Amino acid sequence: MILSLFLILLLIACLCGWRRRRRTGRGFAVLAFAWLFIAGCGPLTDVLLDNVQSGFAPDVTGWGQRNVIILLGAGTVRSGVGSVEPSLYADGRILRTAELYRSCKATGSDCKVEVSGGDAMHNGHAEADTYAITLDRLGVPRGDMILESRSMNTFQNAQNSKPLLDAYHADKIVLVSSAIHLKRAALYFAHFGIRAEAVRGDYVRARYDWLPGTENLFFADFALHEYVGVWRYHVYNALGWNVPKVPEENVTTQTHS
């Protein structure tokens, strides 16, 4: 989005120059490069990241008697040898989920991990099935996993998790994802009556520099994608394009120990 807006502003500047509106064209050109530099050098990206990631801790406040830790997928990759593995962006989420599972089991309570994610990258294996292999190696037994392998996006993660959670009758629900993704994810899960405690698997910051960096531009794009997702959710609700919101009396609640 950052580069797209830069190119749009630059195109407008060129069109203004072609129409002999040089002063206006120069203004758009300056705006285009200012936008690119402020994001790429760190300041704008830092503000975007801070606003979207704020309020999410790396641990839970307590455990219940029947607990479900929901791990949201972040894609898969096909390696050079042909195997399908979790993407780089999924590693923090998977590790945090394994940590939380061990913490939950240490209390003597019942603990399940729901892995939610289909084959959104079209690699031939669902995220849920792929992540389950890594979780098993990290000490989460298959018997304590609930695999939801149909979802192709965050909204479907929430929609498809609802019946699984209702069947389990959890009194504590934990939602694990990247901090940058949690605000939108928690909003979508609340739409389906799932009140979960959101826990971040990773947290990113901008890197300040004198020249624009690709990492800053990537993170700025990522953050803007989340802002657009939240905005789109509210617009779709207003237009009646989303499936109806679950009434409060049907909310899947969670309590703290």
Domain shared by 102 and 199, yes or no = yes
17: its two tokens: 């120059």
Check pLDDT > 70 for residue 249: no
In a domain, 107, yes or no: yes
Q: Judge whether 238 lies within some domain.
A: no
On the question of pLDDT at 224 being above 60, the answer is: yes
Tell me whether residue 164 is in a domain: yes
Q: Which residues of 182-198 are buried (b: 16+ CB within 10 A; e: fewer)?
A: bbbbbbbbebbbbebbb
Would you state the pLDDT for residue 162?
96
Segments forming the whole domain that contains residue 33: 2-52+214-233
Residues 184 and 64 in one domain: yes
- Comparing 33-37, 69-73, 146-150, 235-239, which segment has the lowest mean pLDDT? 33-37
**Cβ count near 111 (within 10 Å):** 24
Q: What is the mean pLDDT of residues 59-82?
A: 95
Q: How many other β-carbons are positioned within 10 Å of the β-carbon of residue 136?
A: 14
Give residue 171's pLDDT: 94
The CATH number for 171's domain is: 3.40.50.620
Residue 9, in any domain of the structure:
yes
Average pLDDT over residues 18-47: 83
Both 140 and 37 in one domain: the answer is no
Instruction: Indicate if 81 and 170 belong to the same structural domain.
Output: yes
At 35, is the pLDDT very low, low, confident or very high (cuts 50, 70, 90)? confident
Do residue 81 and residue 43 come from a single domain? no
Is 256 inside a domain boundary? Answer: no
* Residue 69 and residue 194 in one domain: yes
Q: Are residues 184 and 76 in the same domain?
A: yes
pLDDT at residue 133 is higher than 90:
yes
Structure tokens at 257: 């120990």
- Same domain? 126 vs 175: yes
pLDDT, mean of residues 115-125: 96
The pLDDT-based confidence of 13 (bands split at 50, 70, 90) is confident
Q: 163 and 74, same structural domain?
A: yes
Q: Chain-wide mean pLDDT for the chain?
A: 91
User: Tell me, what amino acid is at 210?
Assistant: W
Instruction: Examine the pLDDT at 257 and tell me if it is beyond 50.
Output: no
Residue 187 shares a structural domain with residue 95: yes
Q: Are 17 and 25 in contact (CB under 8 A)?
A: yes
In a domain, 115, yes or no: yes
Q: Which pairs count as long-range contacts for 188-191, CB under 8 Å and 24+ apart, including other chains? A: 188/154, 188/155, 188/157, 188/158, 188/233, 189/70, 189/157, 189/158, 189/161, 191/155, 191/158, 191/233, 191/242, 191/245, 191/246
Would you state the pLDDT for residue 250?
A: 67
For residue 143, what pLDDT is reported?
A: 97
- Considering the domain architecture, whether residues 45 and 138 belong to the same structural domain is answered as no
What is the number of domains present in the chain? 2
Same domain, 82 and 160: yes
Q: Please report whether residue 196 resides in a domain.
A: yes
